[in-house]
Amino acid sequence: MDLLDGKVALVTGAGRGIGLAVARLFAREGARVVVNDTGCELDGNGYDESVADGAVREIEAEGGRAVASHHDVASTDGARGAVQVGVDAYGSLDVLVTCAGVLRDRTLLKMDEAAWDAVTTVMLKGTFLCLQAAARQMTVQGGGGRIVTMTGLPGYLGGFGQANLAAACAGVHGLVRTAAIELQKHRITVNAVAPLAKTRMTEALPVLEGFDNVLVDHVAPVVLALASDRCGERTGNVLAVAGARVNALRFVETAGKFKDESAGVFTVDEIDEHWAAITKV
């Protein structure tokens, strides 16, 4: 259908997994793709340029156009550098998809500062820096743009041993909501996807054991829908994808319980008494 014909798209974390599936689909839909990946290990350590280079060769073998970026997008210079690769190679940037992420699972009592910083720096700070750099370029161009970030279910439900990941994912939700408000006047839509798919980052999750139909190929078309003009003016949304199921994720506010007497000040006993009414969705 060539939904991205003529567009330039930067996909971070595009050397493997969901990022690679997105980059390949984008190229098949006519986009010129910047494949960003440092080739690091799951915990964020290491560096291997062949990961991004290999993804570019794979896209080119399928008839697509792509260029590699080996920048660390968790730094200001790296995020700006990745955007500049697209501008230098293809003249503009129209789409950003942030898929870069690392894992360092530890229970809360055992998690050290390094594990916390590694995950939140890549997944939250890195998302912010890429979003900012891409939005600045799109604003200068004046033609609008599409930004799609990755978040995750731990940000909404929590996850055992994943305090760092949960905090980063919840932070991305707030970032997306704010960016959607601020960038709307520039005709830049900002949405997020919370995927559950079998990748090297999730292969050890017990919840996915025995499931062979929760694939990266389920995720990529949802990202495409938000990255193409078929998205229209839809912005500030989070779509969860798990196999054949797509649904929206939101933080909800309950109707709550009102107190008219005593100037509306609740006592502890009254909060305890009305707990069900206060928390019922």
Check whether residue 242 and residue 181 sit in a common domain. yes
Residue 263 is predicted with a pLDDT of 84
Check whether residue 37 and residue 176 sit in a common domain. yes
Residue 276 is predicted with a pLDDT of 96
Residue 262 is predicted with a pLDDT of 80
The CATH number for 212's domain is: 3.40.50.720
Residue 42 is predicted with a pLDDT of 80
Residue 14 is predicted with a pLDDT of 96
Establish how many alpha carbons lie within 13 A of residue 23's alpha carbon, considering only the half-sphere containing its beta carbon: 34
Residue predicted with more confidence, 242 or 10 = 10
Check whether residue 265 and residue 230 sit in a common domain. no
Check whether residue 93 and residue 230 sit in a common domain. yes
- CB distance 17 to 200 below 8 Å: yes
Span 22-71, pLDDT tens digits: 999 999 999 999 999 999 888 788 899 999 999 999 999 999 999 999 99
Check residue 91 and report its DSSP letter: S
Check whether residue 185 and residue 276 sit in a common domain. no
103 within domain boundaries: yes
Span 60-117, pLDDT tens digits: 999 999 999 999 999 999 999 999 999 999 999 999 999 998 889 899 999 999 999 9
Q: What is the mean pLDDT of the chain?
A: 93
Check whether residue 98 and residue 124 sit in a common domain. yes
Check whether residue 144 and residue 273 sit in a common domain. no
- pLDDT exceeding 90 applies to what percent of the chain? 81
Residue type for position 280:
K
Establish how many alpha carbons lie within 13 A of residue 12's alpha carbon, considering only the half-sphere containing its beta carbon: 33
Cα distance between residue 180 and residue 186, in whole Å: 10
Residue 213 is predicted with a pLDDT of 72
16 within domain boundaries: yes
108 within domain boundaries: yes
Span 201-242, pLDDT tens digits: 555 555 555 556 768 889 999 999 999 999 999 999 999 998
Check whether residue 267 and residue 217 sit in a common domain. no
63 within domain boundaries: yes
216 within domain boundaries: yes
How confident is residue 199, by pLDDT bands cut at 50, 70 and 90?
Answer: low
Check whether residue 208 and residue 229 sit in a common domain. yes
Residue 86 is predicted with a pLDDT of 98
Check whether residue 136 and residue 257 sit in a common domain. no
DSSP labels, 116-140 = HHHHHIIIIIHHHHHHHHHHHHHHH
175 within domain boundaries: yes
Cα distance between residue 183 and residue 130, in whole Å: 14
Check whether residue 117 and residue 154 sit in a common domain. yes
Cα distance between residue 68 and residue 85, in whole Å: 8
Residue 101 is predicted with a pLDDT of 87
2 within domain boundaries: no
How confident is residue 165, by pLDDT bands cut at 50, 70 and 90?
Answer: very high
Q: Which residue range(s) make up the domain with 259? A: 253-281
**Residue 120, both tokens:** 């939140």
The SS3 call for residue 98 is strand
Stretch 2-28: mean pLDDT: 96
Q: Give the number of domains in the chain.
A: 2
The SS3 call for residue 189 is strand
Check whether residue 151 and residue 47 sit in a common domain. yes
1 within domain boundaries: no
Span 145-163, pLDDT tens digits: 999 999 999 999 998 999 9
